[in-house]
Amino acid sequence: MKPDDFEIVELGDPRLRQVARAVDVADLTSALAYADILQYWMDQRGGVGIAAPQIGVPLQMMIIASRPNARYPDAPAMAPLLMINPEPQNLSETHTALWEGCLSVPGLRGKVTRPEGLDVRFYDRTGQSRLLELTGFPARIFLHEYDHLIGKTFVDRVASPQDLVSEKVYLQQIIAAPSP
């Protein structure tokens, strides 16, 4: 398998609406090959996360990798983290609404309300079970990518059509606008 054998699946493709199946943790060989392809496409497109359904692979795996960039200038830096069969737990009762975008929804941003933190139980690339607490932007990335595993996109989470803007408007008016 090579990265060029895959592409980013975009909104409207029925594969984005499939519920992903669990990875057989006893045999991680093929899953780890997909992990390299996920990393490639995330890096190519400048993303901060990606899930296997976004390359047309209906498996419960994702990479989260918070890092500052033009779209998220205040994002904390973290090393890319592969999560296999992730399970969100203990979601925060405190929620915030922030702008999100998606490699599978190019050119569009939406304001999405999500919990500010949670715990995640998942398997790492060695097959070890881990429990990790995520807060702030990394928690948001996780929840966004987890949506892909259950057949959803951020567009499904937007409360109102007024909370959708083009990428151009987002960068010009929301990111570049001076704070009041």
Active-site residues, by number, are 145
Q: Which two tokens stand for residue 145?
A: 């990518």
Residues sharing a CB contact under 8 Å with residue 179, sequence separation 6 or more, in sequence order: none
Return d(Cα 141, Cα 117) in angstroms, integer. Answer: 11
**54 exposed, middle or buried (CB, 10 Å; 0-12, 13-18, 19+)?**
buried
**175 exposed, middle or buried (CB, 10 Å; 0-12, 13-18, 19+)?**
middle
